């Protein structure tokens, strides 16, 4: 019976002169994500702080379409909440009649199964010319329902089983029964494009998601060490990319084989600096890729103190090879928080599949916890043909566009 879904936003509403840029991006993103989910031909209109979604020719949404859209909208960053709505003219009697008729059916259904029902009305009046204030609208609805159902219907403002939402606007009045939470944040594409280092682990997909939530479009870079790591490791990262791309207009996955550099490190450097040297290579290649594709920052899933390579001293040694802005959304999070988020966003089950990572190739038994800058640098200088090998790795990067 629904022909319209109304979307509300929160943080965007605090924006000043560039607010319409945020709103338009949100509209674009909803269309794109809906397209990915197979919902085509959606019309999205933004009217006074709300977005109205309709089918063409104002047709009724089918149940399956509503379910798909609920899923899509729960991933559209920038949205605070949304509700399927019934619309009517903002005239008092018409509004009460329409709300009463639609509520009556739903309440009757519930009362078939139980004796009484707890309910409330929540009204909002943005059109101040409407003759009744919000409280009066709520009282009028309660009076009408009481007349119909008597004591079987009880007002409960704190814990209702059934809520009637009413919003009176200048052009239209909206009636709704369900409100779903959006993901919050800012629409993807309202800030710079960035590059995320995506491993097959739990943390980096969470870092990608958190960065998207702040409005950045994310491209992904993964490192593998074929033939020392299996191609399945790359397949796993591709699947993680697909899950993450459900939250944004698809980002590209770049895959770089660093096995030649890792062999050079194994053969020429102190084993206890191996992981750090790998990480410095990753950072250098990421920096080159950012410059090439004009990406504004590098995102990682590093968390302070999680492992030896993530002590403050070692993070500094890794950071030292790049002049790019580094974003580490998980810096202050512990593993349990990261796991919880990974489960929510749908990457956890893939992340825990057991596949070796590039960083574990030729792994030292006791890595340095606080490496000295100059010793790591000296070690790097010992690598014959280091710059050329870096260049070769960079030039051999593969790209996957449509995951
Ligand atoms: P987890 O900690 O859950 O095993 P992780 O992805 O955080 O997974 P770490 O070893 O903690 O793995 O690596 C820290 C960060 O370095 C990652 O979050 C990721 O951003 C980057 N990284 C590590 N290995 C790779 C890789 N093979 N390709 C791309 N980025 C990587
Ligand atoms: Mg980690």
Mind listing the domains of the chain with CATH numbers?
1-88 (3.30.70.1510), 91-178 (3.30.2300.10), 194-400 (3.40.50.620)
Q: Whose CA is nearest to atom 22 of ligand 1?
A: 199
Q: Whose CA is nearest to atom 25 of ligand 1?
A: 199
Q: Distance (Å, rounded) from C-alpha 177 to C-alpha 363?
A: 57
Question: 298: which strand partners?
Answer: 195, 326
Question: 196: which strand partners?
Answer: 220, 299
Beta-strand (E) ranges in 258-394? 297-299, 325-327
Question: What is the chain's mean pLDDT, rounded?
Answer: 94
Which tens digit of pLDDT belongs to each residue from 326-342?
Answer: 999 999 999 999 999 99
The alpha carbon of 306 and the centre of ligand 2 are apart by a number of angstroms equal to: 7
Which tens digit of pLDDT belongs to each residue from 234-270?
Answer: 999 999 999 999 999 999 999 999 999 999 999 999 9
Whether the predicted pLDDT of 364 surpasses 80: no
Atom of ligand 1 nearest to the CA of 301: 18
The alpha carbon of 328 and the centre of ligand 1 are apart by a number of angstroms equal to: 11
Nearest to 393 by CA among 244, 300, 287, 312: 287
The answer, yes or no, to whether the previous bond of 358 is cis (omega within 30 of 0) is no
Whether the predicted pLDDT of 385 surpasses 90: yes
The alpha carbon of 397 and the centre of ligand 2 are apart by a number of angstroms equal to: 24
**Which pair of structure tokens corresponds to residue 78?**
């920038």
Whether the predicted pLDDT of 365 surpasses 80: no
Query: What is the structure's pLDDT at 4?
Result: 97
The alpha carbon of 303 and the centre of ligand 2 are apart by a number of angstroms equal to: 6
Q: Whose CA is nearest to atom 20 of ligand 1?
A: 300
Query: What is the structure's pLDDT at 368?
Result: 85
Q: Distance (Å, rounded) from C-alpha 267 to C-alpha 367?
A: 16
Neighbours of ion ligand 2 (CB under 5 A): 203
Query: What is the structure's pLDDT at 15?
Result: 85
What SS3 state is found at 181?
strand
Which tens digit of pLDDT belongs to each residue from 282-317?
Answer: 999 999 999 999 999 999 999 999 988 899 999 999
Nearest to 248 by CA among 198, 301, 183, 328: 183
27 pLDDT band, cuts 50/70/90, is very high
Q: Whose CA is nearest to atom 31 of ligand 1?
A: 199
Q: Which protein residues are within 6 Å of ligand 1, measured from CB?
A: 197-199, 201-204, 222-223, 282, 300-302, 306-307, 357-359
| Closest ligand to Cα 259 | 1
Whether the predicted pLDDT of 108 surpasses 90: yes
Atom of ligand 1 nearest to the CA of 306: 11
């Amino acid at each position: 019976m629904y022909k319209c879904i109304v979307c509300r936003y929160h943080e965007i509403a605090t924006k000043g002169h560039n607010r319409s840029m945020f709103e338009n991006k949100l509209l674009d993103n909803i269309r794109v994500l809906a397209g990915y989910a197979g919902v085509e031909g959606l019309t999205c209109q933004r009217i006074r702080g709300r977005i109205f979604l309709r089918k063409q020719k104002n047709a009724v949404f089918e149940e399956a379409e509503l379910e798909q859209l609920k899923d899509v909208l729960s991933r559209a960053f920038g949205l605070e909440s949304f509700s399927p709505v019934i619309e009517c003219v903002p005239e008092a009697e018409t509004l009460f009649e329409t709300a009463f008729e639609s509520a009556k059916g739903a309440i009757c259904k519930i009362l078939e199964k139980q004796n009484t029902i707890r309910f409330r009305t929540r009204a909002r009046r943005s059109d101040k010319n409407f003759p009744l204030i919000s409280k009066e609208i709520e009282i009028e609805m309660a009076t009408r329902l009481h007349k119909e159902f008597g004591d079987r219907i009880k007002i409960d403002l704190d814990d209702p089983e059934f809520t009637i939402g009413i919003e009176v606007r200048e052009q239209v009045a909206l009636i709704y029964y369900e409100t779903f939470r959006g993901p919050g944040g800012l629409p993807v594409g309202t800030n710079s494009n960035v590059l995320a280092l995506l491993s097959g682990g739990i943390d980096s997909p969470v870092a990608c998601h958190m960065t998207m939530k702040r409005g950045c479009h994310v491209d992904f870079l993964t490192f593998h060490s074929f033939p020392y790591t299996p191609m399945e490791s790359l397949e796993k990262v591709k699947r993680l990319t697909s899950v993450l791309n459900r939250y944004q207009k698809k980002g590209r996955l770049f895959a770089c084989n660093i096995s030649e550099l890792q062999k050079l490190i194994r053969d020429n450097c102190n084993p206890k600096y191996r992981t750090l040297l790998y990480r410095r290579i990753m950072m250098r290649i990421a920096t080159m890729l950012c410059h090439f594709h004009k990406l504004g920052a590098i995102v990682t899933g590093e968390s302070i103190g999680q492992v030896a390579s993530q002590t403050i001293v070692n993070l500094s040694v890794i950071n030292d090879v790049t002049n790019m802005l580094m974003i580490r959304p998980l810096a202050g999070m512990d593993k349990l928080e990261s796991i919880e988020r990974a489960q929510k966003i749908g990457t956890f089950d893939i992340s825990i599949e057991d596949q070796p990572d590039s960083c574990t190739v030729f792994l030292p038994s006791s890595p340095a916890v606080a490496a000295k800058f100059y010793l790591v640098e000296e070690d790097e200088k010992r690598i014959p043909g280091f710059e050329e090998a870096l260049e070769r790795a960079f030039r051999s990067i593969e790209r996957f566009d449509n995951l």
